């Protein structure tokens, strides 16, 4: 089955830039979507189709992709960005939706 690999944790100081990666051997041929989940809350879509932001999501959050790695970048990190972040793709072979294991972002 399709596997997406994320680092378990990323730490960053306030005001700095956080990068969260998502790797998979077929990422280059599909779109990547990102979700933010704060403790006790449902996930929220923050990036879709690699780089698009839903309305209401700050421009500080951006997505990119190169080869088989997608990246979520959070600029000027704030305490309120502390959350779990998940990448997700559509597997065109199985027609399944697949999540990465998640990355816990800690703001120091």
Partner 1 sequence: QVQPVQSGAEVKKPGSSVKVSCQASGDSFTDSFNDFSISWVRQAPGQGLEWMGRIIPIVGRVQYADDFRGRVTFTADMSTSTVYLEVSGLRSADTAVYYCARGGGSNGYYFDSWGQGTLVTVSS
Using rule CB under 8 A, residue 28 touches partner 1: no
CA atoms of 12 and 55, how far apart (whole Å): 25
Continuous H helices in 1-108: none
Residues 69-98 within binding reach of partner 1 (CB under 8 A): 84, 86, 88, 90, 95-98
Using rule CB under 8 A, residue 49 touches partner 1: yes
**Within 13 Å of residue 35, how many CA atoms lie on the same side as its CB?**
15
Structural tokens at position 30: 């599909």
State the residues that interact with partner 1 by CB under 8 A.
1, 31, 33, 35, 37, 42-45, 48-49, 54, 56, 84, 86, 88, 90, 95-102
């Amino acid at each position: 089955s399709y596997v997406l690999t994320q680092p378990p944790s990323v730490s960053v100081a306030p005001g700095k830039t956080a990068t969260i990666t998502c790797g998979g051997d077929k990422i280059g041929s599909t779109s990547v979507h990102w979700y933010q989940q704060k403790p006790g809350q449902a996930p929220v879509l923050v990036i879709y189709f690699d780089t698009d932001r839903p309305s209401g999501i700050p421009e500080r959050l951006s997505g990119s992709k190169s080869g088989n790695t997608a990246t979520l970048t959070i600029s000027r990190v704030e305490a309120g960005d502390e959350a779990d972040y998940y990448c997700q793709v559509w597997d065109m072979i199985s027609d399944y939706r697949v999540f990465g294991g998640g990355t816990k972002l800690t703001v120091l």
